[in-house]
């Protein structure tokens, strides 16, 4: 596969992240064992091996990891220990493969391919297209109720799910991607090339559909995360900073003077609503469990089993994860993996901020990447923004784009 086709394949792969929902098993010849997998995973390995046979003899792609080697190594070590200590060894192996091995291999391939092509618009277009499709389905579901599982169908509180099966999955994907699309819209709308301005209409539509998806899913964490990301984007860009400050001031005044708004924000901020109360109970139980397993956590795919002795509030179901980004990684990958993950995040911000400080640096796309990461992390305070097949890849797409910009040392090339 030549370089151009490989670039297109990588970009298209970024647009089919929801295909992890297509699950099946591949029988292992000569055994009674079948390997569970997803369509997304199969496509990944096809693209990866195509890249490997094209670039396998080139050491640059692997040497480029030097910038991220230490935090990634810690993350891998923590996750591997989590796999080893897990009582559910086969399930843990599947998660290690899907959330650690494949995303990091994808990162190596992704940064290599995009650096050589010196552009990433196709990747953003693929993500924006997927966001738009999710948004359209969300709008149709909100109006008709078609395709929404029974648990979320009540007309008064109807929460859309698109093709995911549960509402929060929309917000987890849509929040960072919507922020990215908002940044791209701003960049295209202010471009000197009139032909490029036309495309800002498409990115604006994707942004609006992403917002609709988040709102109709009633994903409060995604709403707050996306808002935090958009505010960050608005403050970074000098052109929108006055408007953003104006919105912040107006929102503060409204909060202080309009009692219903103040009361609603107070309830959400103090986690006194039903969702917040449940999370506080989950976090308390998880903290008790981690106090007994402080170094290695519960282990991969073991949270539900390890938490049982600490689960006293029986009317609340046991979730797959604690629904807090710190507790999620601490539980799954231990302190080693937790430190590795946040070291990666810190490296991301160090890299992007340095790019912004360069002389004549363009805000796009660096500022949009920073804002997208902010959206992801803020949402992660009350949810699970990484431990899902599509979200793990999405996280490394954001990290990968930052690394490509660092290598190219020219923000404008990915516009």
Is it the case that residue 276 has pLDDT exceeding 60? Answer: yes
Confidence class for position 310, pLDDT limits 50, 70, 90: very high
- Residue 37: beta bridge partners? 24
**pLDDT top residue among 358 and 154:** 358
Confidence class for position 407, pLDDT limits 50, 70, 90: confident
Confidence class for position 361, pLDDT limits 50, 70, 90: low
Is it the case that residue 61 has pLDDT exceeding 70? Answer: no
Please tell me the predicted confidence (pLDDT) of residue 31: 77
Look up residue 132 and give its two tokens: 């738009």
Is it the case that residue 55 has pLDDT exceeding 90? Answer: no
Please tell me the predicted confidence (pLDDT) of residue 412: 45
As a whole number, mean pLDDT of residues 62-76 equals 86
Is it the case that residue 330 has pLDDT exceeding 90? Answer: yes
Predicted TM-score (pTM) of the model is 0.94
Helices (H), 118-166: 121-144
Please tell me the predicted confidence (pLDDT) of residue 298: 95
For residues 204 and 178, is the Cβ–Cβ distance under 8 A?
no
| Chain segment 39-54, per-residue pLDDT in tens | 999 999 999 999 988 7
Mean of the per-residue pLDDT values of the chain: 90
Is it the case that residue 368 has pLDDT exceeding 80? Answer: yes
> Mean pLDDT: which of 111-120, 255-264, 304-313 is highest?
304-313
Confidence class for position 153, pLDDT limits 50, 70, 90: confident
> Mean pLDDT: which of 129-143, 184-198, 260-274 is highest?
129-143
For residues 42 and 295, is the Cβ–Cβ distance under 8 A?
no
Confidence class for position 411, pLDDT limits 50, 70, 90: very low
Please tell me the predicted confidence (pLDDT) of residue 289: 96
Look up residue 240 and give its two tokens: 């929108």
**Which residues, in sequence order, are CB contacts of 203 under 8 Å at separation 6+?**
128, 181, 184, 185, 188
- Tell me the DSSP string of 5-61: HHHHHHHHHHH-GGGGG-EEEEEPTTSS-EEEEEHHHHHHHHHHHHHHHHHTT-SHH
Of the listed ranges 146-150, 196-200, 392-396, 402-406, the least confidently predicted one is 196-200
**Among 105, 118, 71, which residue's Cα sits nearest to residue 351?**
71
Confidence class for position 151, pLDDT limits 50, 70, 90: confident
**pLDDT top residue among 246 and 271:** 246
As a whole number, mean pLDDT of residues 82-99 equals 92
Question: Which 3 state secondary structure label does DSSP give 146?
Answer: coil
Is it the case that residue 413 has pLDDT exceeding 60? Answer: no
């Amino acid at each position: 596969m030549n370089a151009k086709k490989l670039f297109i394949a990588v970009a298209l792969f970024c647009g089919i992240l929801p295909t992890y929902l297509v699950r099946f098993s591949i029988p292992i010849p000569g055994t009674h064992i079948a390997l569970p997998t997803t369509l997304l995973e199969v496509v990944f390995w096809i693209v990866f091996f195509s890249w490997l046979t094209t670039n396998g003899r080139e050491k640059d792609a692997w040497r480029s990891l030097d910038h991220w080697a230490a935090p990634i190594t810690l993350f891998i070590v923590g996750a591997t220990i989590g796999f080893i200590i897990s009582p559910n060894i086969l399930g843990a192996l599947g998660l290690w493969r899907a959330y650690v091995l494949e995303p990091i291999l994808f990162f190596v391939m992704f940064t290599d391919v995009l650096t050589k092509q010196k552009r990433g618009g196709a990747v953003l277009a693929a993500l924006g297209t997927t966001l738009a499709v999710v948004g359209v389905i969300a709008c149709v579901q909100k109006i008709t109720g078609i395709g929404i599982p029974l648990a979320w169908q009540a007309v008064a509180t109807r929460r859309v799910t698109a093709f995911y099966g549960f509402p929060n999955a929309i917000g987890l994907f849509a929040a960072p991607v919507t922020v990215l699309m908002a940044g791209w819209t701003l960049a295209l709308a202010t471009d000197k090339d009139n032909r490029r301005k036309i495309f800002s209409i498409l990115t604006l539509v994707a942004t609006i559909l992403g917002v609709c998806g988040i709102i109709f899913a009633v994903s409060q964490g995604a709403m707050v995360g996306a808002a935090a990301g958009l505010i960050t984007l608005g403050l970074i860009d000098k052109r929108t900073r006055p408007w953003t400050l104006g919105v912040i001031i107006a929102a503060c005044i409204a909060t202080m003077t309009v009692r219903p708004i103040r009361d609603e924000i107070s309830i959400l901020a103090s986690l006194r609503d039903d969702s917040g109360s449940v999370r506080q109970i989950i976090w308390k139980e998880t903290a008790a469990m981690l106090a007994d397993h402080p170094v290695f956590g519960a282990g991969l795919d073991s949270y539900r089993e390890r938490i049982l002795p600490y689960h006293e509030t029986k009317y609340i179901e046991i979730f797959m994860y604690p629904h807090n980004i710190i507790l999620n990684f601490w539980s799954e990958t231990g302190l080693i993996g937790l430190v590795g993950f946040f070291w990666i995040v810190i490296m991301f911000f160090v890299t992007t901020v340095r790019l912004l400080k360069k002389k004549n640096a363009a805000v796009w796309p660096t500022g949009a990447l920073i804002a997208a990461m902010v959206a992801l992390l803020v949402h992660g305070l009350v949810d699970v923004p990484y431990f899902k097949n599509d979200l793990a890849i999405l996280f490394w797409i954001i990290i990968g784009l930052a690394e490509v910009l660092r290598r190219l040392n020219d923000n404008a090339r990915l516009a």
